[in-house]
Amino acid sequence: MNDKKVPGVGEYDGPAGGWGALRAVAGAISKQMAVVRETSAMRRMNQPNGFDCPGCAWPDPKHTSSFEFCENGAKAVSWEATSKRATPEFFAKHTISELWNWHDHALEDEGRLTHPMAYDKASDTFVEVSWEEAMQRIGVGLRALPDPNMAEFYTSGRASNEAAFLYQLFAREYGTNNFPDCSNMCHEATSVGLPMSIGVGKGTVSLEDFDHCDALFSIGHNPGTNHPRMLGTLREVAQRGVPIIVFNPLPERGLERFVSPQSPAEMLTGNATQLATTYYKVKVGGDVAVLKGMMKYVLAADAADRVAGGPGKLDDDFIAQHTVGFDTLVDDLNATTWETIERKSGLSQADIEAAASVYVNAKRVIVCYGMGITQHKHGTENVHHIANLLLMRGNMGREGAGICPLRGHSNVQGDRTVGITEKPNEDLLNGIRNRFGFTPPSAHGHDAVDAVKAIRDGRSKVLICLGGNLAVAMSDPEATFAAMAKLDMAVHIATKLNRSHLILARESIILPCLGRTELDLQAGGFQSVTVEDSMSMVHASQGRLKPAGQMLRSEPAIIAMMAKATLPDTRVEWQAMVDDYDLIRDGIEAVFPIFKNFNERVRKPGGFRLYIAACERVWATPDKRAHFLIGKGLDEDGPEPKDALTLTTIRSHDQYNTTIYGMDDRYRGITGRRDVIFIHPSDLAARGLQHGDRIDVETVASQANGSDPRAVRGYTAVAYDIAKGSVAMYYPEGNSLVALENHDERSGTPSYKSVPVKIVAAKRAA
Ligand SMILES: Nc1nc2c(c(=O)[nH]1)N[C@H]1C(S)=C(S)[C@@H](COP(=O)(O)OP(=O)(O)OC[C@H]3O[C@@H](n4cnc5c(=O)[nH]c(N)nc54)[C@H](O)[C@@H]3O)O[C@H]1N2
Ligand SMILES: Nc1nc2c(c(=O)[nH]1)N[C@H]1C(S)=C(S)[C@@H](COP(=O)(O)OP(=O)(O)OC[C@H]3O[C@@H](n4cnc5c(=O)[nH]c(N)nc54)[C@H](O)[C@@H]3O)O[C@H]1N2
Ligand SMILES: [Mo]
């Protein structure tokens, strides 16, 4: 596609996986880990008695005896188990003004944090403090607030169930439901949208269902990079001859073809397995249109079949017995024209009908989706339409069929299950009251966007972060950075240094914690924690490596210390629970009955599956029915601004969210840089631009919300086989183009993947 030579921009012809993946693992390990003993830790990943891979939330293999190879899992592990250390000596040498100018990659690449550190204004550095001193300051800072709702308790999804449960218990005993969490930027459209449709905000499929489906749809996720172990499952599905239909604006190699490093035959011959049977390059933000088009076809095919004397293509019994809203959906579909659908999706009627005929002809269908669906202005509506499509043919709550949201962080789903929510229900509040003897607050708290707004407006003054990199992950970094600089106190529980830590509050504290891979020794012996994957499987995780430093504490221990320092009259037996995490799990079981016999069940190899009512066609909605839900009409937002393109922000193959492992994006042919924007050659030509030109990306007025257009400047245009009218750049570089106000109306998920922009030649020379 590109004749012109542009530095760092090429083409990748190979499959996903294969020798390239093995080489990348060897590289990651040699850069980070010094000792062979440590690399052997890798084999304990996702094994009974081993630790849960911090890489993603894809479930463990069914046959847990085999080591499952995963390039990006290996990167995540080696990044945590690195032999590099960010010690007090390191902090003494570098002022914060200096560190601020470092690249995000360089900050984390200093290695593991080793000591509790507090900011010292006189020297403009972080200096070592004792745990006692740090806790005393936190207690004073939190107790000084006139209202507990002036504190925000952020959670990133790597925290274990045990840590998250203690954290919410602490914040609620302190007196607030302010729980901004990374899920608010991720699958919140699922957490809000699916309960409305099917009564539960989680997926309904298990790994076994992939053995029984006879069609699989993949919409808006990139497993080759973000859930690499899923490629093994997709390979099995493809080898059974099951059609895999993809809707994605970019040609993602991990959805096209794969050489499994687990298969000696494939590795030796280089013969890849074709994954997607058909790949449709839908326009960014065009998914509701596609889904409506597919459903229109289902209705048409149903009518035609009945005319021909057949039983029709809808599951009449299911619709009658289990659902409401079908007629409204039919009216909405009839009112939607193919002209609109084609214009909004960028796909032809014929293409959408072809995809829909695969759907209609399959008895058991799974739809998988990721951030390409949720991080939109209409994210919740996207989710509703996936559910609608499945419900039409009863593809919910039976073997081989269902909905499969691919969760992000390895325990983001579990954190929500054990109480990280700004909107607690009565069961949760009663559970806490009955078990722990205090009355938790019931008033709704802040999600991530609300938390940043409250901090910006001076309504919140203390921010505690259980992991993550909130400032960089959030939309609108300018607003978020400025807001966080106004805090009275910022406390970060972290493994590695990142930019959020450098945004200084009046009092800033960094607390170093153990990672997943490390031994966690408490008074009661070595402890294990638990996590819940995308398919609601809960299992234990026990680290095996020597901790990165003697001063590190586990997350549960740190939370308990904070609670004791803040709440002199606490009703909770913090120390006993830290001494023996079984007692934390007993607490979880007492508050959430779905964890019945938690300690016993989690000790079985592979763990157990949490009850999901929708899997049994029990719908936990107010009227006990599944719901067909319609949203706004496709044109109700008004015409698209002239000359605008829709920008989506995506992950490279060499990053974990805001953690940048390296500057390459192998499968997209990018080496050594991230300052690129992928654009269709015809969209370049229409603007008089060429492959390799330096360009500026500016938001169009509607996105700027009345303020000046936002811009990122000096990016390099890469002619790419992306859907026309759509452009893509990397996250977090693109975040400054997303205003805090630009989010899904229902779920608050920032619309990181639908930003109307203009592309113009760069105003400044290189
Ligand atoms: N190695 C690695 N693993 C990870 C992560 C990581 O950063 N690195 N992050 C973790 C986390 S927290 C998460 S949430 C997941 C994220 O996993 P994904 O959901 O795969 O995340 P993205 O890279 O944001 O990719 C979204 C995909 O959607 C496509 N897309 C973009 N816009 C649209 C659209 O409008 N419609 C459709 N149909 N497709 C679209 C993009 O082309 C891309 O292929 O991965 C988790 N696993
Ligand atoms: N433009 C754009 N923005 C996005 C997205 C997008 O697709 N596009 N995706 C969004 C999504 S899906 C998500 S989930 C968020 C991610 O938001 P976050 O979860 O806040 O960010 P991460 O980058 O995953 O956090 C990395 C930091 O976590 C800390 N850490 C790592 N391991 C541990 C641990 O075991 N314990 C503790 N305490 N700390 C640890 C390290 O200090 C590291 O620097 O970003 C969101 N932002
Ligand atoms: Mo995520």
DSSP 624-677: SSEE----S-TTTT-PPPTT-EEEEEE--TTEETTEE--S-BGGGTB-S---EE
Q: Rounded to two decimals, what is the model's pTM?
A: 0.96
**Tell me, what's the pLDDT at 61?**
75
Distance 5 CA to ligand 3 centre (A): 35
DSSP 218-259: EES--HHHHSTTHHHHHHHHHHTT--EEEE-SS--HHHHEEE
Substitution candidate for ligand 1 out of 221, 412, 415, 470 with most atoms within 8 A of CB: 221
Substitution candidate for ligand 2 out of 82, 108, 412, 495 with most atoms within 8 A of CB: 495
**Tell me, what's the pLDDT at 63?**
52
- Tell how many helices (H) and how many strands (E) occur in the chain: 32, 31
Which whole-number Å values give the CA distances from 303 to 299, 306, 336, 421, in the listed order?
A: 6, 5, 18, 44
**Tell me, what's the pLDDT at 54?**
86
Nearest-Å Rg of the Cα atoms of the chain is: 25
pLDDT tens-digit series, residues 244-269 = 999 999 999 999 998 888 888 888 88
Among 126, 217, 252, 114, smallest CA distance to 549 is for 114
DSSP 574-587: HHHHHH-HHHHHHH
Query: Residue type for 87, please?
Result: T
Closest approach atom of ligand 2 to CA 466: 38
Q: Is 533 within 8 Å of 58 (Cβ atoms)?
A: yes
Q: Is 164 within 8 Å of 588 (Cβ atoms)?
A: no
Q: Which ligand is nearest to the CA of 648?
A: 1
Summarize the confidence of residues 139-148 as an average pLDDT: 98
Distance 79 CA to ligand 3 centre (A): 18
- Greater confidence (269 vs 472) lies with 472
Distance 23 CA to ligand 2 centre (A): 26
Q: Which ligand is nearest to the CA of 370?
A: 1
Closest C-alpha residue for ligand 2 atom 47: 473
DSSP 8-class letter at 60? P
Residues contacting 101, CB < 8 A, separation 6+ = none
C-beta atoms surrounding 653 within 10 Å: 27
Question: Given pLDDT bands bounded at 50, 70 and 90, which one contains residue 46?
Answer: low
636 pLDDT exceeds 90? Answer: no
30 pLDDT exceeds 90? Answer: no
DSSP 258-317: EE-TT-HHHHHH--PEE--SEEE-PPTT-HHHHHHHHHHHHHHHHHHHHHTTS--SS-HH
Closest approach atom of ligand 1 to CA 412: 12
How far is C-alpha 299 from the geometric centre of its chain's CA atoms?
34
> Where do the domains of the chain lie, and which CATH numbers do they carry?
85-184+411-574 (3.40.50.740), 188-405 (3.40.228.10), 645-761 (2.40.40.20)
760 pLDDT exceeds 80? Answer: yes
pLDDT tens-digit series, residues 654-701 = 999 999 999 999 999 999 999 999 999 999 999 999 999 999 999 986
242 pLDDT exceeds 70? Answer: yes
pLDDT tens-digit series, residues 359-385 = 999 999 999 999 999 999 999 999 999
Among 578, 497, 455, smallest CA distance to 88 is for 497
Pocket residues: Cβ below 6 A from ligand 1: 55-56, 72, 186, 219-222, 225-226, 247-250, 252, 282, 284-285, 287, 370-372, 408-409, 648, 650-651, 655-657, 753
DSSP 8-class letter at 169? H
Distance 154 CA to ligand 3 centre (A): 14
Closest C-alpha residue for ligand 1 atom 33: 372
Q: Is 452 within 8 Å of 479 (Cβ atoms)?
A: yes
Distance 514 CA to ligand 2 centre (A): 17
Closest approach atom of ligand 2 to CA 186: 12
Cα-flanking dihedrals φ and ψ of residue 273, to 5°? -90, 130
Summarize the confidence of residues 267-295 as an average pLDDT: 94
Pocket residues: Cβ below 6 A from ligand 2: 108, 156-158, 182, 185-186, 371, 375, 408-409, 466-470, 473, 493-496, 498, 513, 515-516, 555, 649, 657-659, 731-732, 734-735, 752
Query: Residue type for 398, please?
Result: R
Q: Is 465 within 8 Å of 491 (Cβ atoms)?
A: yes
Among 479, 487, 486, smallest CA distance to 742 is for 479
Closest approach atom of ligand 1 to CA 157: 12
C-beta atoms surrounding 80 within 10 Å: 25
pLDDT tens-digit series, residues 498-549 = 999 999 999 999 999 999 999 999 999 999 999 999 999 999 999 999 999 9
13 pLDDT exceeds 90? Answer: no
Distance 571 CA to ligand 2 centre (A): 32
Closest C-alpha residue for ligand 1 atom 47: 226
Closest C-alpha residue for ligand 1 atom 18: 221
Average pLDDT, the chain: 94
